[in-house]
Structure 1
Amino acid sequence: MVPRPLRRTVPASDSPAVSAYGPVFALLVASLLLQRFLPAVVRTVVDRLSAVAGPQAVGAAVYAVLATAAYVAVAGHWGRGVEWDALLSVGGTTALVGFAGAYRLLGAAALPAFPDDAVSALLVGGVAMGALGVGYARLRGVGVRFTGPARDALPVAGAVGLVAAVACLGWVAALAARGNAVFLGPVGGVFGPRRSAAALLADAALPAALVGSGTAVLYNGAVQADLRGRVGPNGAVAAVTALVGLGAVQIRVGGRADPVATAATVGAVALAAVFCAFVAARAAAAGPLDADRPAVAAAVGVVVVALVLGAVASVRPADGLFVAYGLALTVVAAAAGVGYERTRSVWVPALAFALQRLLTDAGVALALASAVG
């Protein structure tokens, strides 16, 4: 018989819950902190370099990096089997041509020397979410599925996109009902002057695509795929729904000027989100659920988030519009989780999250709310 004191020496990390959700907590904290600080750090570096080398040269370098990043994304997906020397040669050529072309355009056309929206979206969606999600998946021994959905799964993709659009339009309706033409939006931006629909969509489309794709890679391609083998498909869908929905709370409470306070707040929000994800997964795994009912599991995750947001609304009624935003995002996350479970393609949740980012963009949302009102 093993003595009682010896039994207590077993480390807590052997717990299935800790082994499943501990890495998720670390990943969520790292991603949220990078989303908070990385764009600001890069902007500071660019400003200082511009003071030395000139804004035209630095801006051309930024555009060259964007072009090279697009090439890397395309080559990484479709360039399998191609010689590395060829890929590197084309990548170097892309960078040089991009720099030369951007330098001439910046001197002749009215282009911004530093495209803030595109760069921030690339850093958030490509680095803080996409790259981090791929790295996490490899460390955990799962593969991110970048293949497109099968033909018979296209109706599922369409249904996911429809649910996402309806959920976000519901938030736009809440915005219109509020009746404020200018206000501080839940995504942290201030609605500005009215612009044409084409200009709004052009400005919002690329950031929405980048951040939406990164969100899908991080939460569905990495976390959901990892949890699926540890808590089952239903638990994974419910957990990811809660993670995404409650992760949005850091938008509201994490925007402080003090980096230490911001980091502490982000950590607290991430811990609360992971705990709610654990509760949602346990609830989804209980009862007569099976692998063929991910929609029910997603609904469990929505209920968990709704209870938390309802408590926020009862304490601070002024946050009602943010609560509506959080519920819309949670419904989108639920549809994305079900879509990934049904199709096993990261492009399906990417569609849902890209639509969410597009329709809740400050300018687009204001234009839609004005049209509704």
Structure 2
Amino acid sequence: MRIPSFGLPWLVLLLSSTLILAACSGWLSGPSTPSLPSPTPTIPLPTPGASSNAIWCPAGTLQTAQTVGNHQPLTPRPAFLTTLGNPPHYSQINTSFGAMFTWYLHTFSVSPPANPITGILHISARPPAYPYSQDDQVKLYSGATPTILAQFKFGTSGSTVGVMPNAWIPSNYPNYVAFSYVFSPSQLSTILASGVLDVAVGDDTDVQLIQLLLCLPVPTPTPTMTPTATPTPKLALTAVPATVTGPTTALDTEPTPTPTPIKKGTVVSGGLTPVPLPSPTPTVVKKPTVIADVTVVPIVTPTPTPLPTATVPPAPTATPLPTPTPLRHCPAHRARAPRTDSGC
């Protein structure tokens, strides 16, 4: 049959759209890969952010949790990115934003103080608002070189068999669905040996929470030995004579009294009657007189009176003697004559 030239472009466009839709919905993916034991979605997850308060582990165990919630960073290790071919992935969980063909990738460090009894992986997810999530899945890796540990599909559609009975689209699951995967003992041993668990969710699904729970054995308390108190040996007490200090009294200066010897009676033989000697008079020992409330009045030191300063008398001024007038010798015959002005 000849196809009109004007209808050929429309036919090509129709075939292309059909192939794309078939690829996205899993029609051309062939038989699905057999998955390991699937998780059970019947265990409800608590509200994100409060999941660490829920007790998932059996009684008699200690529960530890590592959680990545809304607005918390996703930290995949470099080896994990290399194994997956470094696909487009989110840097954090953000429930208000989603993109097509983008993965949620995260690596948990697993180094518990004791070998856990069991391990549980929680994932809270929902299909996005566009119908490209029907083949979305969860892949778990571990080992120094990441090796696939487990994987499962979210929904069931056509040849895709998943955990949920219907196709993983918003009309079937408009709200977040909680998935809980319990690790087998061999899987848990692999995780503990490598110390890591790699989680990949995608590539169109919205994720609200990724959480790893480990149930550890309760450690047996070590009995505490209470040391017996060693008695402290008592020190031997040494008598120390008391030393009396104080002012010297008159009693301290008196001489020590000399004891008076007592004469023994003399026994005289021959029938004489012994005459008893008089009893010695006891010496009276003077006791110090205690004067109570004596106030010591300090002796006032007399202030020395300064000696008067000696006054040096002025040196006497020498008075010159008058010069004697020499006497003139008058003649003898004029001795009795009256005195004149010349003296003769």
| Greater relative CO (CA pairs within 8 A, separation 6+) | 1
- Work out whether the TM-score is over 0.5: no
Instruction: Name the TM-score, length of structure 1 as normaliser.
Output: 0.23
Instruction: Name the TM-score, length of structure 2 as normaliser.
Output: 0.25
Task: Give the number of the structure whose residues are more often helix, by fraction.
Answer: 1
